[in-house]
Structure 1
Amino acid sequence: MPKPKQFLKETKKKSKHAPQVPTTADEYLAAGVDFEEAGEKWRAGDAAKSTRFFVRAIDCYDEGLKKFPASFDLAYNRGRLQYELTQHPKLLKELPGSLLDLLQVALESSKYALTLNGDDPDALFNTAQVLTSIVDTLNEQGSAAYNPDQPSLLLEEALKIFAQCLKQQEAAYSAFQKQLQTDNSTSVDAALDDTTIANTSSTSGDSDAKDEDQVQEQWASVIVPVSKSSILDTILAQLETMSTLYSLLRSDKLIPSIVAYAQPLVVEKLPFYVTETGQDMEAAIALAGYVSAEADAKFRLMGLDMQSYNASVQQAWKSVQLTSNASHVEGLCDRAESYINCSNTLCLSGNGNSLDCSKLRWGLLTAANQDLTIASSFKDDNNIVKIHLKKGDVELWRFQLGQAPRGLEVAAKNKAVLLKNAEKHYRGAANLSTVAVAYDSEDTQAKVKELLAKALGGNSKPLADAQTQFKEAGDILADAVEEGLVDWNQLQGLGDPDAMVE
């Protein structure tokens, strides 16, 4: 379930307050930050006004870079903000161009910042995140079909950049810990020095005024120490990126190298850096998702048997204690997605239509539905429309388990209920898309899929008319066939399938 990136490094590179007409790099930087802060104030209430301020901030950074092309801070802020805007659907609607085009612009800006300071952890992290977002968008839009190798190559690049980021973070963390030990061993002397400095600084006002600018510059250059939490964010992003890469593999060639890349992260670094961060649940969710993705790849490409694959996914999530809590919604959705992915992968296997496989899939889809039901109770969640769409999909998949050639008895007996549930969830997604955070395509997808559920229940005329009502209807139905929500023979029974998916 595509969602906004959770670990974007949002720290702005700041300077002093800007004058009305910037003349230095610092003044352009400060002016841009002022525009950003104005945009943030309006983000919740007026998306159009908020976006205008953010665009003015980008323009300010652009203008500054034309005059000061070597300013890393200007370059960093530009790339960071360009990417951040793509992660907010309400703001994205106000911007010209497609999501993919906007992400490409953000990638170019982020890579330019790295040419100025290739060791900055925040710039490295954000650049890798842009790459993963491009892959998410390519997959969601089906654009990867035109160049099937591109997403994997982008993710491999992202993993290399994440590794470089982690290396810089760990070096900074180690250096800071050594400095703390040194400071602690000389704490008495340091306290005496502080007293001396304090006494020395309490001289005349003229002296204070003379040194004020110098002191401010020193304060402005203070670097916040790298924390365990920051390093953990990078490790979790690496796990998520590897999970996505596993799902895209078409051969087992890269599996050993991915396992080798992950091994020190999972065995050594994750257990160490998660301590004292309060992010234990977040780490457990990311690790379970990674283990599930690895099992999926080994089933598809290395001959792992059906029962072992299912057991690996179930075991991966067994210790993740998710409850009816707003902070657990993302984890519930991730677990549901792992169960759904396992079910769909089993369906495509050689034994996909067997009774044993159908029983496993029913259990997985039922568990996914339970998680999504809990998640859907939190109406303010940013992914609420996607959650309802996915609940509708789950009911159609469960319905299909009762159809030939599978014929699972429990699914066949409950087919009417399952179809009515699917209609309800799709209708809920369409209604929520008018008030909740949603992309434009989700509203149309929900409406067409609701008509599909009605048609499978016997009322096919509205679906036949959908082609003229919704220009995207053909693509949505074609995707539904590919995803196993409906098969081609069923569409034939509902009308002219060629006309529906033209």
Structure 2
Amino acid sequence: MPKPKQFARPPKKAKLKAAPETADDFQEAADKEEEAGGKHRVGDPAKSARAFLRALELYNQGLSRHATNFDLAYNKARLELEITQQPALVEHVGLPLIDLLRQTLDSHRYALRLNEENPDLLFNTSQVLVSLAEQLSEAGQAPQAIPLFQEALELLSACLSRQEMLLEQQRLEFEQFDDDGGVPLDPDETPASNSGSEADEQTARIETPVSANDLLDTVHASVSALTTLVPLVDESALQTYGDMAYALTEKRAPSYVTLLPDDLQEAARVILLLDRAIFVAAFSDAQYTFAMIDLATYADRLNAFDVPSKDQNAHALSAQAEARVELVQSILDRHQSSIELPAEICWKQLNLAQEANTKATRLNTEDAKERKAGILESQGGAEFLRHRLVTIPNVPLSEGIKRSARTLIQNAQTYYRGAAQLAWAEGDAQLAVKAKQRWLIACDIGSAVYGVAPKQTAAPFEGNPRDAKGDVMQALKDCVDEGLIAVDLGERIAQRILQ
């Protein structure tokens, strides 16, 4: 998710009054707590969360006395949004994430009532809406999620229009400076502050100029929201969202790229092409689900992932792999184990997915290193899916491929184990637990179906003990729901877990 937009703040005062009175006083006091929270964010999330909660309380106190102060309202909302994006902090806030997101949305809407044209606030509010919609969607509440996605897209559209207007104003001002013989403002230079009177209860606020990167960030957020939305809507709405994505990626964004310095344009184009490819994959999957396109068209559209220097781009490789896996899942959803199942196409797509993932894990870039645990977890899922495919009765695949079933399960064990260990070492507890639970399931399949123990019997990391049967059962249900494991095999493993 893109980082929340922020205002640059005026210099801090030398001393803090004992009891805050003015809006500036409350902002300064909150700044100190935010600074303290930031220092402990990594090493002591509990201490960090306490400091951030004190900052939020100061914002609340300030707004109770200066209810129309935009800076206090904006910064309170911004801080809440930042907290929601840090799982380690959420654990110590005392609210479930979905409730915290609702609270954060209320704060953003309050700030919007004070200033509905601020592009940073429009952008941040859209991100809260998307995060909340994603949580509701994952909880099986798609009807409640869809309006939130739609509202987010409306705010992003308003944000983009506002950014375009501000950028054009800046261009005209620069030209006026040149005509008058003045010196134009450097975009990296801090502009003069706009101060309101105390009667207006508006503290000094410094706004940075809008840049082409800001517009591209808004396009990225918009296309990302559209990508998440299209699997949830009905057939009649698809074309509308397809047209929106087309207008953003084919018409508006390319012109923004040309505003960047020459040496930054190629990288920006690659990011834009990848955003487009990811959307095209999700859009095609939705169309295939509604039988609006055939399989050949769907598969052909995945060539959109052939972006420049793809083999050196971990994001492009892993996104392409994910899209190919999704294609196979949709094929299996449609055909199940019928004689019309295009098994060879499925097998080829899964092989291509694993080849792309393997290339990504071998890259030595920082992005590749950050993604590696997630890619390994995805590889485990692809092996589950290949195992499901080769064990379908009378599947039209070669005998050699069919005999690979046990090896595929052992591969899944290896990938999930590696993902769990790496995620745990990197502090991603959520991914680590997910991968460990799926490793346990892969071990059960290997033992129950093939009579083989895992190559390494020790758990990938300590914690989340095996006797948490309810958690493993939920993980097994998720695998069946995702189509990674056949229903009958899932029932067999469930009986084993409950013994």
Shared fold (TM-score greater than 0.5)? yes
- Matched residue, 1:336: 321
- Contact between 1:243 and 1:293, CA under 8 Å: does it hold in 2? yes
Shift of 1:447: 2.7
Shift of 1:424: 1.2
- Contact between 2:444 and 2:493, CA under 8 Å: does it hold in 1? yes
- Matched residue, 1:155: 149
Instruction: Answer yes or no: is 1:66 the counterpart of 2:39.
Output: no
5+ residue gaps in structure 1?
A: 192-212, 214-218
Shift of 1:286: 0.8
1:54-79: per-residue Cα shift (whole Å, max 9, x none)? 22222221221111111111111111
Tell me which of 287, 297, 304 is aligned to 1:298.
Answer: 287
Query: How do residues 51-450 of structure 1 correspond to structure 2 at under 5 angstroms?
Result: 51-140=49-138, 143-144=139-140, 147-187=141-181, 190=182, 221-249=205-233, 251-275=234-258, 276=260, 278=264, 279-313=268-302, 315-324=303-312, 328-350=313-335, 357-376=342-361, 381-405=369-393, 406=395, 408-409=397-398, 411-440=401-430, 442-450=431-439
Which amino acid letter does the alignment assign opposite residue 157 of structure 1?
A: E
Shift of 1:177: 1.0
Shift of 1:12: 5.5
- Contact between 1:82 and 1:106, CA under 8 Å: does it hold in 2? yes
Secondary structure at the aligned position of 2:236 is classed as coil
| Equivalent-residue separation in structure 2 for 1:389 and 1:8 (angstroms) | 28
- Matched residue, 2:490: 491
- Matched residue, 1:32: 30
Shift of 1:285: 1.4
Shift of 1:226: 0.7
Q: Which moved more, 1:354-363 or 1:490-499?
A: 490-499
Shift of 1:51: 2.4
- Contact between 1:240 and 1:286, CA under 8 Å: does it hold in 2? yes
- Matched residue, 2:444: 455
CA 23–487 in structure 1, closer or farther in 2 if over 3 Å, else same? same
| Equivalent-residue separation in structure 2 for 1:369 and 1:20 (angstroms) | 61
| Equivalent-residue separation in structure 1 for 2:315 and 2:327 (angstroms) | 18
Instruction: Answer yes or no: is 1:476 the counterpart of 2:475.
Output: yes
CA 479–184 in structure 1, closer or farther in 2 if over 3 Å, else same? same
Which amino acid letter does the alignment assign opposite residue 341 of structure 1?
A: E
The count of corresponding residues between Structure 1 and Structure 2 is 458
5+ residue gaps in structure 2?
A: 184-196, 198-202, 455-464
CA 433–268 in structure 1, closer or farther in 2 if over 3 Å, else same? closer
| Equivalent-residue separation in structure 2 for 1:492 and 1:478 (angstroms) | 9
Shift of 1:375: 4.0
Shift of 1:352: 7.1
Taking only aligned residues, the RMSD between alpha carbons, in angstroms, comes to 3.0
| Equivalent-residue separation in structure 1 for 2:6 and 2:383 (angstroms) | 39
1:264-319: per-residue Cα shift (whole Å, max 9, x none)? 21222110112326323322211111122222222222520001101112x21112
- Contact between 2:387 and 2:408, CA under 8 Å: does it hold in 1? yes
CA 323–90 in structure 1, closer or farther in 2 if over 3 Å, else same? farther
- Matched residue, 1:204: none
CA 88–353 in structure 1, closer or farther in 2 if over 3 Å, else same? farther
- Contact between 1:13 and 1:73, CA under 8 Å: does it hold in 2? no
- Contact between 2:377 and 2:435, CA under 8 Å: does it hold in 1? yes
